[in-house]
Amino acid sequence: AGQIREPATVLHGEANLRLVDAGALLEAPFGNGRGSALIAGRYGYPGPVLSAVVDDLKIGYWDYQARASWQLSDRDTISVFAFGSHDYLAQGVPSGDPTASKEPVEQLVSDFHRVDLRYDRALTDGRVRLALTGGYDSRGAAPNHMTDRSLGARLEVERGLTEALRFRGGADIRLDHYRLE
């Protein structure tokens, strides 16, 4: 249940370039302000930077997020939110055998992806959300590898009880299918 900020009402974007990664974000309203779309991502390139110093190490990562929302009425909104990432580490394993491959061996490969479909209803002093989430996770490196496919549904309720007190509650159910190789 990723918490995200409200959609922007004006077109905006940003980009950054750092020593080990680069990223960008673009968000745009559409449909006379009733809809909004956002896409963002980051790509890490520490591998080439580190390989200048260490020859038997490979490392990398990337992540992304995307959101689209549409205001059905003054109180009702539907949206889809997707996000995920990939992390990778391979390192040389000393064998003592001069004929052995010098190619780094995968130590860690980790991926996750989520898609969250949401219906939000604004209340006078709070909100109700119904959501359906699908996910895919993958962890490990050969020969040990685990995957998890998941599907979940949730109900969230938030309501102001007094000026200083808010109620937040809900229920959720999630099914997971694990596979180990």
Q: Distance (Å, rounded) from C-alpha 155 to C-alpha 168?
A: 11
Dihedral sign computed on CA atoms, order 69, 136, 112, 154: positive
List, in sequence order, the alpha helices (H) in 57-143: none
Dihedral sign computed on CA atoms, order 140, 142, 143, 148: positive
pLDDT at 19: 86
pTM, two decimals, is 0.80
Predicted confidence (pLDDT) per residue in 40-66, tens digit: 999 998 877 787 788 777 888 999 999
pLDDT at 59: 86
Q: Distance (Å, rounded) from C-alpha 37 to C-alpha 153?
A: 23
